[in-house]
Amino acid sequence: MTRSTTGPAATDPLPSPKERRRLREARELSERQVAAAVGVTAATVRAWETGRASPRGRRRAAYSRLIGCAEPRTAPSRPAEENGSGTMSTVGPDTLPAPDAATPDGPTTDRPAPDGTTLATPTPGGTGPAPKPGSLTAEEAYDDLYGRTAPALTRQVFLLTGHRGLALEAVEHAFRIAWQRWPEVATDRDPAGWVRAASYEYAMSPWHRLRRSHRRTDPLPEDPARRALLDAILGLPPSYRRTLLLHDGVGLGLPETAAETEASTHAAACRLLNARAAVAELLPAPADAADPGTGPAPLREPLAALSLAEEVPAPPAAPVVRARGERVAELWTRAALYFGVVLIGATAFTLHTAPTHYEEPLAPAGRVGGVPPLGGPEKLTPQDLKLQKALKGELAHGPERLVPRIP
């Protein structure tokens, strides 16, 4: 009797780590609750949701059923909406007191997006729907993703850092990495979110402070309102700035924002409210501000207006970025091969010239102290030596030696 080891849990792939966290928080489950139900620790669940590890066997099936990724979605709450960066994200319930999203049942109202397009609330606009991945080649799918997301992403990174050159460099770096890992990015549920996270991480790296050209931000806008808004945003801590831009600028929900910033939902909500409050202190209250008791109002309209008003250099063409990515990958491959050849040569030379047996080294000479001098008669003087020589050369004359007799 044999037992089959295959099953639906072994064949159904799990979603991405960010999607796992979003599904768990959508079901209002904490990490400890999931860990207790699956039979692991909370640190293990955190590792599953950050991509450092992945569940296996029965725990994989239990975790999949618990977060609900194995169940078919029959009735989504809202249709997918394409935001300013080309990211297709679903609008979920928001736990913040301030109203963030328009109701899909009402009339469609157009609002400007950070990339210069016009987004309708229930349906995407401006750039049009993304084509099906199966009908395009890898190069065509990459070029389509680059064309829809690169311009808006450059403006977002500029608002995040205040450097136009760094924004262009970060976006190009992210798309080069995406082309090198295109099989992984193409199968991801949110390819634009993957590229956005990579560009944000590169742009906010603290190592850029060592570069002389990035120690100071670019000149601020001449318009006082836009200058005050950009100055207030750049004055926020990096984590607050990123949370504010993702939620109010890009339009992500609170769980998606928390997952992308690797923070809890409560921490992301606190960062968002504190960032809104800090910016509201330096800016006049908008016309659609929320009630005083519900907290600061969202900054979607001011961020969109600031992004559209600023001049940001256009990113290079997609084939150029792909060619640069392939060139960089080729250079790194050659460098790794050369380093391996040098390492093998050095090892072979060491083995050839090394002695085959151990030779004990000779100890260096040293003065030994504490030893008493040799005893005995003193050294003979020249006169004593002359007399000794004379006595040895003459015969002895005199009486014989007297031997005592014993009576």
Tell me what the mean pLDDT of segment 232-240 comes to. 88
Beta bridge partners of 82: 88
The crossing angle, in degrees rounded to 10, of helices 138-161 and 224-234 is: 100
pLDDT at 131: 55
Quick one: average pLDDT of 110-117? 38
Give the pLDDT of residue 93.
Answer: 33
Mean pLDDT of the chain: 75
Give, as one character, the DSSP assignment of residue 104: T
Does pLDDT of 126 surpass 80? no
Measured distance CA(198)–CA(191) in Å, rounded: 11
The token pair at 185 is 């990015």
Which of 150, 154, 149, 132 is closest to 141 using CA atoms?
Answer: 132
DSSP code at position 15: -
Give the phi and the psi of residue 108 in degrees, each rounded to 5.
Answer: -80, 130
Facing residues of 120 across strands?
110
- Average pLDDT (380-402) is 77
pTM for this one? 0.54
Neighbours of 319 (CB within 10 A): 12
Q: Checking DSSP bridges between strand 88-89 and strand 81-82, what pairing results, if any?
A: antiparallel
Nearest-Å Rg of the Cα atoms of the chain is: 40
pLDDT tens-digit map of 146-193: 988 898 899 888 888 888 888 888 999 999 999 988 988 888 888 988
